[in-house]
Amino acid sequence: MSTTEILFFLLSALAVFCAIMVLVSKNPVHSVLWLIAVFCAISGHYILLNAQFLAIVNLIVYAGAIMVLFLFVIMLMNPNTDKESKKHVWMKLAGVSSGVCFLLLLVQMVYQSTDMGGKKILMSDGNIGLIKNLGKALFSDFVVPFEITSVLFLSAMVGAVVIGKK
């Protein structure tokens, strides 16, 4: 087993474990911290795939900005955890079982498909994920979506301020 595979399995186990801990922890602040750990594991996967730009952007935008926003809102509202309404245990069981059934369905579909047979991923090599190549593509082929994104951000900012002011 090569180093890349060992790193892959380690990061995958970390990501799945932390994602499950997001669900089962009672305190919302702990959930946010576990979700930050999931995002760090996913950034590790990006580095493993040599997508360096996305790894850094994922850390800065998701684990940095978005999660701080979540943490800020949770601490602003300070919701008492004991007030969360008790859901019926059968409803929880139904949710979990339907999710697991969906997972089994998708796994079976991928397992049976012949298209995915001998497809491989290029790990830790290839330079399409470098900032230089992504920047060239972003400012030549994808200029219009990039500019529309700025309008989207402006409208989201205005929307958040308008909703928050009421």
Partner 1 sequence: MPIQYYIYLCLTLFCIGIIGVLTRRNAIIVFMCVELMLNAVNLLLVAFSKMHYLAAPGTEGANSTVGTDGQLFVFFIMVVAAAEVSVGLAIIVMMYRNTHSVDINFLNRLKN
**First CA to last CA distance, the chain:** 58
CB of 49 to partner 1, least distance (A): 5
CB of 53 to partner 1, least distance (A): 7
CB 15 within 8 A of CB 38: yes
CB of 83 to partner 1, least distance (A): 7
CB 20 within 8 A of CB 140: no
In residues, how long is the chain? 166
Q: How many CB atoms lie within 10 A of CB 123?
A: 14
